[in-house]
Structure 1
Amino acid sequence: MNVVTPFEGIGASVRRKEDLRFLSGRGQYTDDIVRPGQAHAYILRSPHAHARIVKVDTAAARAMPGVVAVYTGEDTAKLGSIPCGWQVNNKDGSPMAEPRHPMLAEGKVRHVGDQVAVVIAETRAQAKDAAEAIEVEYDVLPAVASLRDALAPGAAQLHDNAPGNVCYDWHIGDKAVTEAAFAKAHKVVRFETTNNRLVPNAMEPRCAIGDYDPTTGEHTLYTTSQNPHVIRLLMGAFVLNIPESRLRVVAPDVGGGFGSKIYHYAEEAIVTWAASRLNRPVKWTSDRTEAFVSDAHGRDHVTTCELALDGGGKILGLRVATQANMGAYLSTFAPCVPTYLYATLLSGVYATPTIYAEVKAVFTSTVPVDAYRGAGRPEATYLLERLMDVAAAETGIDRVEIRRRNFIPTAAFPYQTPVALQYDSGDYHTTLDQALETAGWSAFEARRAEAAKQGKLRGIGISTYVEACGIAPSAVVGSLGARAGLYEVGTIRVHPTGSVTVLTGAHSHGQGHETTFAQLVADRLGVPMSQVDIVHGDTAKVPYGMGTYGSRSLAVGGSAMVKAMDKIVEKGKKIAAHLLEASVQDVEFERGTFRVAGTDRTKSLTEISLAAYVPHNYPIEELEPGLEETAFYDPKNFTYPGGCHICEVEIEKDTGKVQVVNFTAVDDVGRVINPMIVEGQVQGGVAQGVGQALLEHAVYDESGQLVSGSMMDYCLPRAEDLPNVGVATHVTLCTHNPLGVKGCGEVGAIGSPPAVINAVVDALRDYGVRHVEMPATPGKIWSIIHAGAPPALAAE
């Protein structure tokens, strides 16, 4: 009797394979790892935002119980600088300022949380106690905690080789052509905004364990990383001078990243170096408060822009000037976020004939800033979608209509933007129409009136967006300053009995790779998902890959797997042809079965794999034994997800509290592998976007102290802050990868912030409000409401 198994391939809402392990507490995170003889590190961090280190006295700390060693910047000064992985050039072609980023501070600290010393002891508590005994004499210097302060004449200089605290002054687009477009404009809309700084708060704080085997000279780093091979390269080659053959990096289960675990952090180098000095493992685990001043922050742009329109509301041109905060040092990919991941998306979904954008990156005495879920794309989308609403208000054109008039027509794809990118596919009209219908846009005024009867203000906001995913191709990004290739690798190993092991350079930190990657194998090779094992995160096991970020897992990593599976099938056809005494050209393959075309003569994948490993009857003169193939995939272009998000809010007049009462997301993420996982990814992204729009803000005072430096002061969204998010998809296939996928991991965080703020501004329309900066906190909204009676009510 045949057992019929449910369809597990592409398009099936298969429940996640990994969830039982996580929900039952059987996952293995870095902090779960205990190495024999393990010591514990605690890092003494600067309490000052900017100061000279006059003296560090570690004598008392070294004498404390359990202390194994204490190290300062004097001990690590001859080691390399924490490297930056992307170089951006100035307008004149000169390279950006790239100051040294030491493992431990050398002569100066530049932000609260900067690493001053590390204590290693038998227990973490002993290390922490000893750190408190270190006496540091500081000569406190003026802080430059904001972009304005850092760029002010006579401002304190953080780095000698970054005059004026400027990292780079970059531009893109044709300035002369853009100026000409503005000269003939019927209307110019001007807008200024700040994209608020955020603190990533992954469920799992960062952790790193350095281990060293003196008998082999091999170093091992266990770390909470999204890309272990990149960490191995950066740390081994540029910081510690360890050959890659002697350095293993393992990223086991990782509890969320959102970009904050892409980078090479000083703590990883500290424990790896210390372990080799002490000949014993060294573990460092961050607590939540420490994470606020040591994990790279996100966003933090100040922008002024102008939009040129003709008499019919069509866009003629766009001018943008952005100041982007880099923090005190350059994090791994920081320079590319406000340039090639932001300014190149300033056309958005709109047919914009010309764009000129200037970006000035600035060092400040704050935690370094780098990519955070969406990385540049949320900042670009927020700017454009707020600008479109302001333009609609100033021209009197309906908010939806002004977008329709300027959409890139579906027939225009592939569409070349004036800022480098060429979109391969999209259908913005359909996602807009679908979202409007699902959200009940046409009936909204009745809901507004009903809310008014309850004494509440109700508003609705719309956001249409496009993003660039995959971060590719290598040759292109290399010419733009990337210091790494951005391909991906996949190895497919079919075992003698037909089960499959997949080794992928992509890394899972909550996305569900063990499920979706297994679905690809089930769909292509016809192997049940229960017989597919996904291996990732260990440089000793997996071929060199670039990790997971930028929604690249399926578009790049999955495509590498497909190429490897194609090689498996082609080899399998040759084996099947031999066994079936047929021509290779006559052998077909579908879902686990090789068949001679037009006949009932077949061989299963299991029979082929067994023959490959037990080659008694095998074309040995033509083929090597075994059934394992590896493929690298270097994308031809970015992928371009897009869509429409609509948010509906209610505001309590007495408190200023904004409640999101309805949210609709219609996204084009290309081919959908698992609808359930796509829905979860979108909902999670929307939660983060709502958090930025209404609640989250990393606030520094003038002295450079992070005043929102704990969960008591930094407000994350809770369940009561979020509605049920309606998620739907409309598919246009990516035209240049074998799966047709585009990516879904960031769309929720990109499309949602402007939709929320557009809804808030709409709710406050009777108060003459043109714009509300993020986060739209209750205090901010209450102040607007109670500043005076709205004009409409005053007239009554």
Structure 2
Amino acid sequence: MPKDHGIGASTKRREDVRFLTGAGNYTDDINVHGQAYVHFLRSDVAHGRITNIDTAAAAAMPGVVRIFTGADFEGVGGLPCGWQVTDKHGEVMKEPPHPVLAQGKVRHVGEPIAAVVADTLQQARDAADAIDLDIEELPAVVNMKAALEEGATKVHDDLSDNLCYDWGFVEENKGAVEEAIANAAHVTTLELVNNRLVANPMEPRVAVGDFNRATGDSTLYTTSQNPHVIRLLMGAFVLGIPEHKLRVVAPDVGGGFGTKIFHYAEEAFCTFAAKACNRAVKWTSTRSEAFMSDAHGRDHVTKIELALDADNNFTAVRTETYANMGAYLSTFAPSVPTWLHGTLMAGNYKTPNIYVNVKAVFTNTVPVDAYRGAGRPEATYQLERVIDKAARELGVDPVELRRQNFITEFPYATPVAVEYDTGDYHATMDKMLELIDRDGFAARRAESEKKGKLRGLGINCFIEACGIAPSNLVGQLGARAGLYESATVRVNATGGLVVMTGSHSHGQGHETAFPQVISEMIGIPEDQVEIVHGDTANTPMGMGTYGSRSIAVGGSAMVRAAEKIIAKTKKIAAHLLEAAEADIELKDGQFSVAGTDKSVAWGDVCLAAYVPHNYPLEDIEPGLEETAFYDPSNFTYPAGAYACEVEVDPETGVTTIEKFVSADDFGNVVNPMIVEGQVHGGIAQGIGQALLENCVYDENGQLLSASYMDYAMPRADDLPEMAAYTVDHSCQTPCTHNPLGVKGCGEAGAIGSPPTVINAILDALNSGGHKVDHIDMPASPSRVWAAINNAS
């Protein structure tokens, strides 16, 4: 029977009650008495020299408190990058300054030049319009390959060129890879684009800065996935505020998808301006601002080669990728196309030789950073697309080609420096084939053909690395922060408890899933467990939530803290029961002496800890509160097999997704319902990338897809009916190195779905006699129609 509580139960999300009834507390709901409002004057050119900025007339307008320009931030630190990459020549990446407000030049459309603080938002906007601004427009560089040509316009004048780094991994593999490709029986080559995306969470970014003149304390309320990291970066590297004098609060956050990990100029500005104006300052992004100020995602151009021997065994993979950094380095941008991408190029396969080259390029565009999956979708897309192409070239079954190259023995050390601890890729493939009913596909294709439609079946196998760790390793790789997590468990005198976690929820259901773990460990009802997060003033230093790390890293920290609590309560129970500590058992909220009927309730032991009249004071101090920091010894490695069936109308190029199945291995699952929702959401985003979404600049650096009028977010009718989705996570190989055996599920859908959809479209087109080897995302109707009509 399904469980009704604890680990494995599909407990309804408790936080949804307030979200669905309008009782959530988001950053824009926070208003500080007497606050002012800020409006940013942003560049409308991609590249230019600021020749004049006259704020005198604007400053005299009604309600204006103060106008800030780049000159006000001289001596203030620029926005820091949190990861330093060393290239294949042993040289560190180029890291140009990233000012809070533009200084001397603008380098992308949307870069903030001036900020008007006024009594009302409308007054701030009116004054911004009155600023006399002259910009000498300069040539912009947008295309990455053109940006590296000799004589190309430089984004940063003080750099020698637009190359941020030229990264080779693993450099010692390069010769062996070249030899394997030269001696291969078959080599499949594919050039592809991983299209630029805008994350577009439902809640735009917001920042409210406040300053207490009496105490000298600064507070920032912000839409962040990791408030402690924002406090560290902004306090230490930008504004010079000691951490004990800076509080960062991230309340309810309405979606992040990676774009709310980073430290942004608007956060630093509002914190700085609140002190300068001695008045709280609030900024709420418009959707138009979000398109040109939120970090974008993906934007890779890649050539991948797959070498096979005469028996179709993979012998080598070689890739060359151009990765767009945009105009500046965002917080974790350098790590995405390198350590989060190159280390996953083995995929699920025992390819002995792999070499990855990445050229990171500065362009006059919005900075690019992590977006749901962050590097893993890019690696999976390359690998799974080239394997499908190889299967067509060789005339073999794409399923069997993958099967014969699967890794089957664990632990497995890949040629790209990671070690998979456990997995069963045949099991997920078997489950996927069962769910998609591959045996019945021919009949379904025939039915589609009767309607004049082309039906295709696409498959994909993937692996991802979650819970980036350990800190000492990532430090060697260039991370400028630890990647541990923390938790404090405070038990009240009556037995209820509060977990204060360094993780942060922005839709993952922490307030439901974390209590399930505690309930399982102690045996108390889940409603006696409260989760506190998002406020640096009352949570231990933690690294936040991204990279599917919440339960694997944050949950493990919570388990370790709870284990300390349980160990202490067993000592108290042993004293109360006059028994040996080794004989004490805890189950269903009762401490008992093994082999007897002697017991004491959890609540009674907790009360004894705070009212220590009968207490082993010689051994332990009163109270029940413990903190733990958990630093994983390895990544976790979720894996899966996905399948998609599409119908393509050859007359219009319109693609309809008829069926989508996912078979995932997430290790142990805490809440199956939450996992299903996470996968559904990820698949929807992956379908959006595959079919619809595309962030496009023209040659002058103007953003052509700057609103929902031009950027096609998926709607309900672009996705399959819920009955056509099948999400399965029954193939479980528990993680071997964390106490919960969990692996993470938040990004899987976005990683596995794009190549699955594109493979399905190509299968459909080829079934109709149209020889199409490749189509870039998004596979819009016009692109599909053109591919059909241009096919040989």
The TM-score range, normalised by the shorter chain, is over 0.9
Q: Check the 8 A contact 1:313/1:397 in 2, yes or no.
A: no
Shift of residue 361, structure 1, vs aligned partner: 0.3
Alignment-mate amino acid for residue 769 of structure 1 = V
**Match of 2:739?**
738
Between the two proteins, the alignment pairs up a number of residues equal to: 783
Partner-residue secondary structure (3-state), 2:297: coil
Q: In structure 2, what is the Cα distance between the partners aligned to 1:345 and 1:697?
A: 24
Confirm whether residue 142 of structure 1 aligns to residue 139 of structure 2.
Answer: yes
Alignment-mate amino acid for residue 762 of structure 1 = D
Q: Check the 8 A contact 1:701/1:707 in 2, yes or no.
A: yes
Q: In structure 2, what is the Cα distance between the partners aligned to 1:712 and 1:10?
A: 44
Deviations 1:393-418 (A, max 9, x none): 11111111100011001xx1000000
Alignment-mate amino acid for residue 743 of structure 2 = K
Deviations 1:740-789 (A, max 9, x none): 000000000000000000000011102110011000001111222334xx
How high is the TM-score relative to the length of structure 1? 0.98
Shift of residue 178, structure 1, vs aligned partner: 1.2
Confirm whether residue 589 of structure 1 aligns to residue 586 of structure 2.
Answer: yes
| Root mean square deviation, CA, Å | 1.0
Shift of residue 164, structure 1, vs aligned partner: 2.1
Shift of residue 654, structure 1, vs aligned partner: 2.5
Q: 4+ runs of 1 displaced by more than 6 Å?
A: none
Partner-residue secondary structure (3-state), 1:53: strand
Q: Check the 8 A contact 2:470/2:631 in 1, yes or no.
A: yes
**Match of 2:118?**
121
**Match of 1:577?**
574
Q: In structure 1, what is the Cα distance between the partners aligned to 2:451 and 2:179?
A: 51
Q: Check the 8 A contact 1:77/1:102 in 2, yes or no.
A: no
How high is the TM-score relative to the length of structure 2? 0.98
Alignment-mate amino acid for residue 205 of structure 1 = P
Q: In structure 1, what is the Cα distance between the partners aligned to 2:3 and 2:637?
A: 32
Deviations 1:485-529 (A, max 9, x none): 000001111100011101000000011000000111111111211
Q: Check the 8 A contact 1:644/1:751 in 2, yes or no.
A: yes
**Match of 1:103?**
100
**Match of 2:356?**
357
**Match of 1:255?**
254
Shift of residue 183, structure 1, vs aligned partner: 2.7
Shift of residue 715, structure 1, vs aligned partner: 0.2
Alignment-mate amino acid for residue 232 of structure 1 = R
Q: In structure 2, what is the Cα distance between the partners aligned to 1:182 and 1:768?
A: 25
Shift of residue 206, structure 1, vs aligned partner: 0.1
Shift of residue 6, structure 1, vs aligned partner: 7.4
Return the match for 2:462 from 461, 465, 471: 465
Partner-residue secondary structure (3-state), 2:530: strand
Confirm whether residue 203 of structure 1 aligns to residue 206 of structure 2.
Answer: no
Alignment-mate amino acid for residue 268 of structure 2 = A
**Match of 1:728?**
728
Q: Check the 8 A contact 2:181/2:187 in 1, yes or no.
A: yes
Confirm whether residue 403 of structure 1 aligns to residue 402 of structure 2.
Answer: yes
Q: Check the 8 A contact 2:207/2:282 in 1, yes or no.
A: yes
Deviations 1:695-745 (A, max 9, x none): 000000000001001000000111111112210011000000000000000
Q: In structure 2, what is the Cα distance between the partners aligned to 1:164 and 1:437?
A: 53
**Match of 2:10?**
13
**Match of 1:189?**
188
**Match of 1:794?**
none
Shift of residue 583, structure 1, vs aligned partner: 0.8
**Match of 2:314?**
315
**Match of 1:57?**
54
* Pairing of 1:142-541 with structure 2 (within 5 A): 142-173=139-170, 174-409=173-408, 412-541=409-538
Shift of residue 162, structure 1, vs aligned partner: 3.2
More deviation in 190-199 or 154-163? 154-163
Shift of residue 126, structure 1, vs aligned partner: 1.0
Deviations 1:578-633 (A, max 9, x none): 10111111111123111111011111110110000000110111111001111110
More deviation in 558-567 or 523-532? 523-532
Shift of residue 152, structure 1, vs aligned partner: 2.3
**Match of 2:129?**
132
Confirm whether residue 759 of structure 1 aligns to residue 760 of structure 2.
Answer: yes
Q: Check the 8 A contact 1:97/1:161 in 2, yes or no.
A: no
**Match of 1:650?**
647
Q: In structure 2, what is the Cα distance between the partners aligned to 1:96 and 1:425?
A: 34
Q: In structure 2, what is the Cα distance between the partners aligned to 1:683 and 1:136?
A: 47
**Match of 1:617?**
614
Return the match for 1:771 from 756, 768, 774: 774
Q: In structure 2, what is the Cα distance between the partners aligned to 1:43 and 1:135?
A: 14
Shift of residue 655, structure 1, vs aligned partner: 1.9
Q: In structure 2, what is the Cα distance between the partners aligned to 1:193 and 1:367?
A: 22
Alignment-mate amino acid for residue 515 of structure 2 = A
Q: In structure 1, what is the Cα distance between the partners aligned to 2:780 and 2:667?
A: 35
Deviations 1:647-698 (A, max 9, x none): 1111122221111110001100110000000000000000000000000000
Q: In structure 1, what is the Cα distance between the partners aligned to 2:649 and 2:125?
A: 46
Q: In structure 2, what is the Cα distance between the partners aligned to 1:136 and 1:180?
A: 58
Q: Check the 8 A contact 2:503/2:544 in 1, yes or no.
A: yes
Partner-residue secondary structure (3-state), 1:767: coil
Q: In structure 2, what is the Cα distance between the partners aligned to 1:551 and 1:593?
A: 34
Alignment-mate amino acid for residue 788 of structure 2 = I
Deviations 1:430-478 (A, max 9, x none): 1001001100112111111110110111111001000000011100000
Deviations 1:320-346 (A, max 9, x none): 111100000000000000000001000
Shift of residue 161, structure 1, vs aligned partner: 4.1
Alignment-mate amino acid for residue 387 of structure 1 = V
Q: In structure 2, what is the Cα distance between the partners aligned to 1:88 and 1:557?
A: 26
Partner-residue secondary structure (3-state), 2:428: helix
More deviation in 500-509 or 124-133? 124-133
Partner-residue secondary structure (3-state), 1:786: helix
Shift of residue 114, structure 1, vs aligned partner: 0.5
Q: Check the 8 A contact 1:37/1:281 in 2, yes or no.
A: yes
Q: In structure 1, what is the Cα distance between the partners aligned to 2:781 and 2:129?
A: 39
Partner-residue secondary structure (3-state), 2:569: helix
**Match of 1:780?**
783
Alignment-mate amino acid for residue 274 of structure 1 = A
Q: Check the 8 A contact 2:297/2:368 in 1, yes or no.
A: yes
Q: 1:299 to 1:558 in 2, by over 3 A?
A: same
Alignment-mate amino acid for residue 642 of structure 1 = A
Return the match for 2:552 from 542, 552, 555: 555
Q: In structure 2, what is the Cα distance between the partners aligned to 1:776 and 1:540?
A: 47
Shift of residue 367, structure 1, vs aligned partner: 0.2
Deviations 1:156-213 (A, max 9, x none): 0011343220100111121112122223211111111010000010000000000000
Alignment-mate amino acid for residue 290 of structure 1 = E
Q: Check the 8 A contact 2:166/2:358 in 1, yes or no.
A: yes
More deviation in 568-577 or 155-164? 155-164
Shift of residue 540, structure 1, vs aligned partner: 0.2
